[in-house]
Amino acid sequence: QVQLVQSGAEMKKPGASVKVSCKTSGYTFTGHYIHWVRQAPGQGPEWMGWINPNRPATYSIKNLEDRLTLTWDTSIGTAYLELSRLTSDDTGIYYCVRPDKGDLTFWGQGSLVTVSS
Amino acid sequence: IQMTQSPSSLSASVGDRVTITCRASQGIAKDLGWYQQKPGKAPKLLISGASTLQLDVPSRFSGSGSGTDFTLTINNLQPEDFATYYCLQDYNYPYTFGQGTKVEIK
């Protein structure tokens, strides 16, 4: 069965960087994109971008593209999200998601990132 | 593409019929999904392609619409349906979510 297991909670100071991992199993890693979605406390989800491990290619939303780095390691079926120059507005839960025909079908459990001085 | 979802919250009783709407700022064909989120959990895909129910989703959920206007209907609301619902357009990038509708117990 498809599974996405994410790294644990992180606490960071403003200005620091954070790297979240997403370990996949149950399918061929290069056969599907991985999307990233985040959710601030009490807010709706915000779609952030994707990786295409097969091409390879990435896409990030405009307001994050200078701080967001999406990478992956095909040999271990793992995707990574790195966000730099953190502010309190980056506090939230970060999800990796494997789509199925474009729909966000298989979700990781989420990784809580807290940015606080 | 902006997704405008309404209402932002509603109160309903078990057994009620509930309707949530989502409007896209431009036509998105039928490239819309509906997601349910419960506290502390990741969103769960209920409906894809505006009207296709996922395999594990009860038939009391249904979706309709195309172009710019979409509806999620829950018939015979059950206790486990109290949650927050989001629409998501996957017509083009960047994908965008609606603001959400919190369904609460009356």
* pLDDT band, very low/low/confident/very high, at B28 (cuts 50, 70, 90): very high
Provide the token pair at B2: 């902006």
**B12: which strand partners?**
B105
Q: Are B22 and B99 in contact (CB under 8 A)?
A: no
Which of A41, A103, A12, A44 is CA-nearest to residue B47?
Answer: A103
CA distance B54 to B50: 11
CB contact under 8 A, A105 and B100: no
Nearest chain A Cα distance for residue B96, angstroms: 6
Which of B84, B106, B83, B87 is CA-nearest to residue B96?
Answer: B87
pLDDT reading at A101 higher than 90: no
| B contact set with A (CB within 8 A) | 31, 33, 35, 37, 42-45, 48-49, 54, 86, 88, 90, 93-100
pLDDT given for residue A102 in this prediction? 85
A23-48 pLDDT, tens digit per residue, is 999 999 999 999 999 999 999 999 99
CA distance B86 to B34: 6
Looking at beta carbons, which residues of chain A come within 8 Å of B31? 102
